[in-house]
Structure 1
Amino acid sequence: MPIDFHAEKNRNTYAERDASAAWGDLLRGLISLEGQHVVDIGCGGGIYSKALADLGAAQVTGVDFSDEMLQAARKKCAGYPQVQFVKGHALATGLTSGQADVVLERALTHHLPPSDLGACFAEAKRILKPGGVLLVQNRTPEDCLLAGSETHVRGYFFEKFPRLRDKEVGRRHDALTMEAALREAGFQDISVQQVWETRRVYASAEELRADLLARTGRSILHELDDEELADLVDYIVDKLPPQEIAEQDRWTIWSAK
């Protein structure tokens, strides 16, 4: 069954890690956030809202449609007075027009059908100041289909269960579709790059096993029942060294003005 973002049991699934330092370095290479108001649409458990504040944003507004996610995000960002959270939808945030310097939409667009992409980006444009920047980070089908390895653990999901590959590719938008939707919404100066982001460093394969069995931050694993998940985790751990594992994912980032 697909993940239920409104279920209490899933409240912390997108809050139980921190953004990697390399992700912060990546954003610094794209844009300066010092003193900026950044809106994090689809903020989930606040992992990247917190990271945006750490990068110098003067104000961060996280938006999510799930009360459970927002509750986790507020806990995640306790002690960060510059970070606030509001309930809203990617197509209707409820925020005031022209208030943001930067909008981040990370791991959001695969939850939307292609017909909603234009409206999603138009809403981001509405809340941006003139000259503001939209950053969209997600996986294309090409990103998803890379082979499994000691660092790219996700690739083994699809090797073991091909139906997960079909599900994953079916919900991802290709680069041409994304760029067309951005232009339809009125964005210009669009740049695209592929990056590897360290998701998490595990002290051992057994630590990774526990994380996978909990389905932490991996909505695709909710497509498996408990027995299938256990089989998948055994399959993955058998392929990995017992010592430290630095898990990475390949992403595509669109930057648009």
Structure 2
Amino acid sequence: MPINFHDEKNRGSYASRNADQVWKNAMRTRVDVKGLHVADVGCGGGIYARAWAELGAHMVTGVDSSPVMVDAAREQCAGMANVSFVVGDAAATGLNDASVDLVFERALIHHLPDLGPAMAEAVRLLKRSGRLIIQDRTPADVALPGSAEHIRGYFFERFPKLLAIEQGRRWPGEQVRAAMSAAGFANVSEQTLWETRRVYSDFSELAEDLRNRTGRSILHELTDDELEDLIDFVGKRLRHDQVIVEGDRWTIWMGQRD
């Protein structure tokens, strides 16, 4: 069944790693965040809220609809005085009008049945000339074949039903761009980014990560027996005695509030 982000047992699923350096470098080339107030909408366990602070943001406010995830995020960022978290919805964050310089939405929009309300909320939150950055996967991103670098592709090769679920919930790039433009964002751009998800010392470490479904909501669609079958399937395609560097391809959209 789909992941329940409100279940305490999933508390650490999106809080147990650090943002990739490739991602940080990519953000640096897109925005100088120093001195800015960032709203991380759909912040999950706080991984990227922490990363924005490390990049130099003056203040970061994480927003998530799950109190469980917000609690995990607060633990993740404990001791960071310029990072805070609130419970709120992507379309109703509870933050003040024109209160932030940058709205960031990572792995959020594929959970939304309609992009319009979240886009309107981003416009409301942003100061004049503020920017929206969306990071998610398109149907084309998820359809890439499996390899030692793109483990996720093996999920869909073994269980086509997972690909159908993924492609059914992912927004095509042109629809995201259209929704941003319709909301009033200017200079809308779209680019892809390969991001290192995690480095595993060997296959057994990857297998344990898969078995725990860590940060992989799509694997909650499998039964425990199906998951073991998938681990065996992946294991037959990878060497077990070498480091595995897993990557994911993302699409990043940017737009500026008028």
Q: Do the aligned residues in 1 keep the contact of 2:50 with 2:77 (CA within 8 Å)?
A: yes
**Please, what is the CA RMSD of the aligned residues?**
0.6
Asked if structure 2 preserves the Cα contact closer than 8 Å seen for 1:135 and 1:256, the reply is yes
CA contact (8 A) 1:39 1:100 kept: yes
Q: Does 1:21 align with 2:21?
A: yes
**Number of the residue aligned with 1:252:** 251
Q: Distance in 2 between matches of 1:144 and 1:57?
A: 31
Q: Which residue of 2 aligns with 1:165?
A: 163
- Residues 67-104 of structure 1 show CA distances to partners (whole Å, capped at 9, x for unaligned) of 10011000000121110000100000000010111010
Q: What does 1:50-199 correspond to in 2, within 5 Å?
A: 50-113=50-113, 116-199=114-197
Task: Look up the equivalent residue of 1:241 and give its one-letter code.
Answer: R
2:26, 2:239 → 1: CA distance?
A: 28
Residue type at the aligned position of 1:38? V
Give secondary structure in 1 for the equivalent of 2:153: helix
Q: Give the letter aligned to residue 142 of structure 2.
A: C
Deviation of the 1:215 alpha carbon? 0.3
- Give the superposition deviation at 1:240: 1.1
Deviation at 1:237, TM superposition (A): 1.7
2:213 aligns with 215
Q: Is the 8 A contact 1:119 1:185 kept in 2?
A: no
| Structure 1 residue 140 displacement after superposition | 0.3
Following the alignment from structure 1 to structure 2, what is the Cα–Cα distance between the partners of residues 81 and 154? 36
Partner of 1:204: 202
Q: Which amino acid aligns with 1:244?
A: V
SS at match of 1:124: helix
| TM-score, length basis structure 1 | 0.98
In structure 2, C-alpha distance between the alignment counterparts of 1:238 and 1:132, rounded to whole Å: 48
Q: Which moved more, 1:116-125 or 1:131-140?
A: 116-125
Contact persistence 1:197–1:250 (CA under 8 A): yes
SS of the equivalent of 1:256 reads strand
CA drift of 1:184 comes to: 1.2
Instruction: Give, in whole Å, the separation in 2 of the partners of 1:128 and 1:157.
Output: 38
* TM-score w.r.t. length of structure 2: 0.98
CA distance in 2, matches of 1:141, 1:180: 16
Displacement of 1:118 in angstroms is 1.2
Distance 2:189 2:178 in 1: 13
How far apart are the structure 2 equivalents of 1:237 and 1:94?
46
2-structure distance, mates of 1:98, 1:76: 27
Task: Tell me the matched-pair count.
Answer: 255
How far did residue 241 of structure 1 move? 1.8
Distance (Å, rounded) in 2 between the aligned partners of 1:46 and 1:200: 17
8 Å Cα contact 2:177/2:189 also seen in 1? no
CA distance in 2, matches of 1:237, 1:17: 23
CA distance in 1, matches of 2:142, 2:133: 20
